[in-house]
Amino acid sequence: MKHSQKGTYGGQAVVEGVMFGGKHHMVTAIRRKDDSIEYFHMPRKQRPALQALKKIPFIRGIVAIIEASATGSQHLTFSTDRYDVDPEDDKKIESEKMSKTTLILSVAAIGVLSFLFSKFIFTLVPVFLAALTKPIFPGDVAQVLIEGLFKLILLLGYIYFISLTPMVKRVFQYHGAEHKVINAYENDLELTVENVQSASRLHYRCGSSFILFTVVIGVFIYLLVPTDPLIVRILNRLALIPVVLGVSFEVLQLTNKLRHVPVLRFLGYPGLWLQLLTTKEPDNKQVEVAIASFNELLKVEKEKEEAGNREIIV
């Protein structure tokens, strides 16, 4: 494993394509209706204040989410704007528009674009549902556990049902292709379709794992604060959202570092299990798009590094 020497890369599935990001640049590649591949480039802006915050434990996770939301929305917008439809009649046009809107909302709801908004929903709804069970489970510990159970059911149910729609399934396939490319790269495999298809579609650093960690970590943190009265419970849940996000990010980073330790790699398994829902096996053409996106990123990253080295020499 030499990925630490080559750099760590992340990505995001978009409509009919994949975005990959590196140290200096981000690239999205999408498959057009005519079977061509189109690219969208976006340099990373260097913000000293932001970079400083990214070095502070528990704060860096929140900063990363906000930054990913801002940049990811631009790549998602590009992919949806370039997503071609070929309607035959007015009815089909309206159907395609509606399907496209549904797709955008569904992807955004589980992606970083609307993560904070969805976090409010998935935080508060379980609170009210758990409160309804208080006559049966009155204890604070029981209430927190019931609340966590409702949150997990809502999360898994939502992801499962939207994954059944054909268009969202395709996005999940591109999500799988993204992971396969990263896994192949980190295992020093040549990025051919055959090699990438042989790689796992699951990855420890995935945002899906992060979402699940927020549920689990939230249970432990909520045990430290009161559950009564209901208004206090609601207020402390809202106030603790940044805390839960910050701690969950650190746990995700830890599980990624420990994934090569046989006795401790199981810590990341729950997140990997969730990815069985949020990723699907891609076809070869989808893998081709993911490989093209990643190779384009590697090219521009190399050019940036070489340009920087020339400036230092001069």
Query: In the chain, how many domains are there?
Result: 1
Reported as type and span, the H/E element at residue 30 is: strand 25-31
- Mean pLDDT across the stretch 202-211? 84
Query: pLDDT above 70 covers what percent of the chain?
Result: 82
Over the stretch 224-264, which tens digit does the pLDDT of each residue have? 998 889 999 999 998 998 999 899 888 888 887 777 777 66
Chain mean pLDDT for the chain = 81
Neighbours of 68 (CB within 10 A): 18
Give the tokens for residue 137. Answer: 């489970």
DSSP element (H, E) containing 19:
strand 17-21
Query: Which residue range(s) make up the domain with 51?
Result: 3-313
**What is the C-alpha to C-alpha distance for residues 83 and 67, in angstroms, rounded to an integer?**
25
Q: What is the pLDDT of residues 267-292, one digit of tens each?
A: 778 888 889 999 999 999 999 999 99
Q: Structure pTM?
A: 0.79
d(Cα 299, Cα 280) in Å, to the nearest integer?
28
The pLDDT, as a whole number, for residue 134 is 92
Q: Tell me, what's the pLDDT at 93?
A: 41
Specify the pLDDT at position 46: 75
Most confident of 13-17, 82-86, 144-148: 144-148
pLDDT at 118: 67
User: What is the predicted pLDDT for the residue at 94?
Assistant: 45
Q: What is the C-alpha to C-alpha distance for residues 200 and 279, in angstroms, rounded to an integer?
A: 11
**Cα distances (angstroms) measured from residue 46 to each of 74, 126, 276, 305:** 17, 39, 35, 15
Band of residue 68 on the pLDDT scale cut at 50, 70, 90:
confident
